Amino acid sequence: MTTFSLEDRPAVEMVKVSKVYPPDVVALQDVSFSIAKEEIVFLTGMSGAGKTSLLKLICCIERPSKGLIEVAGKDLSRLSAKAIQKLRQEIGVAYQDFKLLQQRTVFQNIAVPMEVTYQPQRAIKQRVDELIDMLNLTEKRNKCVNELSRGEQQRVALARAAANRPPLLLADEPTGNLDNSTSKLVLNLFAYLNQKGTTIMIATHDEAIYRDNNHRVLDLSHGHLTPAVAREP
Ligand SMILES: Nc1ncnc2c1ncn2[C@@H]1O[C@H](COP(=O)(O)OP(=O)(O)OP(=O)(O)O)[C@@H](O)[C@H]1O
Ligand SMILES: [Mg+2]
């Protein structure tokens, strides 16, 4: 049973959340929002606006200085270390700096979340190869990550985040190193995962990936969420 499956609550909720890095760097201030289950939401804002900090709070890499954070209806401040560990296994994270195992192959990197949750080898092979094909990495399947371009590594990071079909996927600047047609492969992957029930938050500078769809945009400016602006239809 997953943490997410029991709850009919927002996937993510923040109420008046602030994050201060010691001694005095205010990364987020008074941030409140709610993300429904199975929504796709873009998180935008200039460099340094607080996007990565916000995603790190949701996946419990960082703790808030103030405020309430609920994920799948669970108040993160009340979870035991074990419950946090379980929750983190249910959140797929594609990090801005990838965090790949450089000496391992593409296949091995993408398989990691499935290995650590003891999925059967046959299921791992099928899922990893499906993601490799969707992201046009077939020729690189058995290459070591340290032989890949940045854009290829970025896609490996995304595939790894998606491997376990997480109920919540956080993608930090997922198209930062990609050309337009490769970005489309990534957007297709998001649409496919979302159809299967995954809630997705995408931090991005890349206007091209959010201007042509109707998904909600949360815009951060100097750690504050800017009031929602009506979007052109
Ligand atoms: N570990 C840290 N320690 C101290 N300050 C930090 C730390 N991480 C981020 N910051 C600061 O917090 C603020 C927000 O940073 P964050 O990485 O969240 O921005 P961002 O919107 O993701 O930027 P970018 O678009 O460049 O990735 C910045 O002023 C940054 O310097
Ligand atoms: Mg960032």
Rounded Cα–Cα distance for residues 73 and 80 (Å)? 15
Strand order in the sheet with 74-75: 25-35, 12-21, 66-71, 74-75
Mutational pocket test of ligand 1: of 18, 20, 25, 57, the residue with most ligand atoms within 8 Å of the beta carbon: 25
Inside any domain, residue 54 = no
The reply to whether 137 falls in a domain is: yes
| Ligand 1 atom closest to the CA of 21, numbered from 1 | 4
Number of domains in the chain: 1
Element (DSSP H or E) covering residue 193: helix 180-195
Confidence (pLDDT) at 233 = 45
Query: What is the number of the ligand closest to the CA of 48?
Result: 1
Decide if 211 is inside a domain: no
Give the pLDDT confidence of 69-123 residue by residue, as tens digits: 999 999 999 999 999 999 999 999 999 999 999 999 999 999 999 999 999 999 9
Pick the residue whose CA is nearest to atom 8 on ligand 1. 53
Residue range 53-73, pLDDT digits in tens:
999 999 999 999 999 999 999
Q: At what angle are helices 106-116 and 121-134 packed, to 10 degrees?
A: 130
User: Residue 165 domain-assigned?
Assistant: no
Give the pLDDT confidence score for residue 8 in this predicted structure. Answer: 79
Could you tell me the pTM of the whole model?
0.96
The verdict on residue 82 lying in a domain is no
Long-range Cβ pairs for the range 18-22 (8 Å, 24+) = 18/64, 18/65, 18/66, 18/67, 18/223, 19/50, 19/53, 19/54, 19/57, 19/62, 19/64, 19/65, 19/223, 20/65
Ligand 1 closest atom vs CA 55: 18
Question: Tens digits of per-residue pLDDT, 120-154?
Answer: 999 999 999 999 999 999 999 999 999 999 999 99
Residue 112 sits in which domain range?
A: 100-152
pLDDT over 90 (residue 187): yes
Nearest CA to ligand 1 atom 1: 21
Identify the pLDDT of residue 166. Answer: 97
pLDDT tens for 9-34 read 999 999 999 999 999 999 999 999 99
Q: Does some domain include residue 88?
A: no
Residue 202 falls within a domain, yes or no? no
Q: 195-225, pLDDT tens digit by residue?
A: 999 999 999 998 989 988 899 999 999 999 9
Q: Give the separation between CA 131 and CA 153, rounded to whole angstroms.
A: 13
In a domain, 107, yes or no: yes
Evaluate: CB of 103 within 6 angstroms of ligand 1.
Answer: no
Q: How confident is the model at residue 6 (pLDDT cuts 50, 70, 90)?
A: low
Residue to mutate (ligand 1; options 18, 51, 54, 65; most atoms within 8 A of CB): 51
Q: Is the CB of 28 under 6 A from ligand 1?
A: no
